[in-house]
Structure 1
């Protein structure tokens, strides 16, 4: 089953790329953690779309947790002054991904 949210997750990566690079220059550890979490979202989304039963939901839960981790990385980077005022569109996209995955895991 192809998921439309997969395309949204790929777009999220494109939006995050310059922010992840900026964060990585200030804090390589946080930048790496954010990059791994961000990549996990579409990878687990796509894996879940072609899985069945518990594996399907497990992958979607992982993608949802990774999206929430990306959001937390942005919050931490903003609080530490690595970036200023994270773009609302980026936060809205993350919230959209998390909300969609929350609904998918509850059906």
Structure 2
């Protein structure tokens, strides 16, 4: 199993809390964020079980969704739906994005 998968699950728990806060102000953004969080985990897990081009596609999908999760947080901050977000959570998101980007590049 990829070590990043455990980080993805921890990020999902923290991001779900942020999505709950966003829900109070913007249900659509919160739902989109939850779908993206789920996509990061599921595509990462699926990529671990695939080979060749399918592996790269799954990691690429997970990477896009990870970037979407971060963008949802940034939009929520810009719109003042949330005031602060735990720096450790943001670090996890950036770590996941960097790792998935390396995996996509390595599988190419």
TM class, shorter-length: over 0.9
Pairing of 1:34-73 with structure 2 (within 5 A) = 34-73=33-72
Alignment correspondent of 1:86: 85
Distance in 1, matches of 2:18 and 2:56, equals 30
Structure 2: where are the runs of 5+ without partners? none
Runs of 4 or more off by more than 6 Å in structure 1? none
When the two structures are aligned, how many residues end up with a matched partner?
A: 106
TM-score, reference length from structure 1: 0.96
Alignment correspondent of 1:31: 30
RMSD: 0.7
Structure 1: where are the runs of 5+ without partners? none
The answer to whether structure 1 residue 4 and structure 2 residue 3 are counterparts is yes
Give the drift of 1:18: 1.6
Distance in 2, matches of 1:10 and 1:33, equals 18
Distance in 1, matches of 2:48 and 2:42, equals 10
Distance in 1, matches of 2:105 and 2:20, equals 34
Distance in 2, matches of 1:106 and 1:17, equals 29
